[in-house]
């Protein structure tokens, strides 16, 4: 299967990678390398960073292609033009939670999966993508802290 990932959108849905992290792209690629199954090819598309570069730049790793669009073009536009206009869409899955891209994908009859769902499925490890949870607080915890503050439980 060939997955096209809206790179920053996937990072934004991953609780273990921050969009503010300067190494966010590397962290995502390492995660994808760790969990990629044989036979799957991932194309990860990011917005271009350099306005002086007028063409997309790509890097190929085993089973993963990383594309940075040209500096004056968004990843969203690249996905809509390059991915959604492919003739053979039978083995493509587009990974994004961007509503505009999802609408275009539906019109183009491209299979989609939302980023959070992809992370859960791809990594087969729910803790990577589940919402951040509060710890379980037992009655013992409550009673301990109530006693610390000289309160009595009911």
* pLDDT at 37 > cutoff 70: yes
Q: What pLDDT does 95 receive?
A: 96
> Does the predicted TM-score (pTM) go above 0.85?
no
- What domains are there in the chain, each with its CATH number? 2-148 (3.40.50)
* DSSP E strands, the chain: 2-6, 41-46, 57-61, 64-68, 92-95, 111-113
Whether pLDDT at 142 is above 50: yes
Using CA atoms of 128, 129, 134, 138 in order, give the dihedral in degrees to the nearest 10.
Answer: -70
Whether 111 has a pLDDT exceeding 60, the answer reads yes
Q: How would you classify the pairing of strands 57-61 and 64-68?
A: antiparallel
The model's pLDDT over 43-90, given as tens digits with 9 standing for 90+, comes to 999 987 755 556 678 899 999 999 999 878 899 999 999 888 888 888
What share of the chain has pLDDT > 70, as a percent? 86
Tens-place pLDDT, residues 122-135: 887 444 444 445 56
The pLDDT value recorded for residue 154 is 53
Mean of all residue pLDDT scores within the chain: 84
């Amino acid at each position: 299967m060939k997955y096209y990932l809206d790179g920053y959108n996937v990072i934004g849905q991953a609780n273990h990678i921050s969009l503010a992290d300067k190494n966010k792209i590397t962290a995502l690629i390492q995660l994808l390398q760790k969990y990629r199954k044989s036979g799957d090819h991932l194309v990860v598309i990011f917005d271009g960073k350099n306005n002086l570069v007028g063409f997309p730049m790509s890097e190929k790793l085993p089973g993963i292609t990383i594309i940075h669009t040209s500096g004056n073009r968004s990843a969203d536009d690249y996905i809509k033009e390059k991915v959604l206009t492919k003739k053979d869409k039978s083995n493509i899955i587009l990974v994004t939670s961007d509503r505009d891209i999802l609408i275009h994908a539906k019109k183009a009859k491209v299979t989609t999966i939302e980023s959070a769902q992809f992370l859960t499925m791809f990594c087969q490890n729910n803790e990577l993508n589940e919402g951040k949870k509060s710890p379980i607080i037992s009655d013992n915890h409550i009673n301990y802290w109530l006693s610390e503050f000289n309160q009595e439980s009911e």
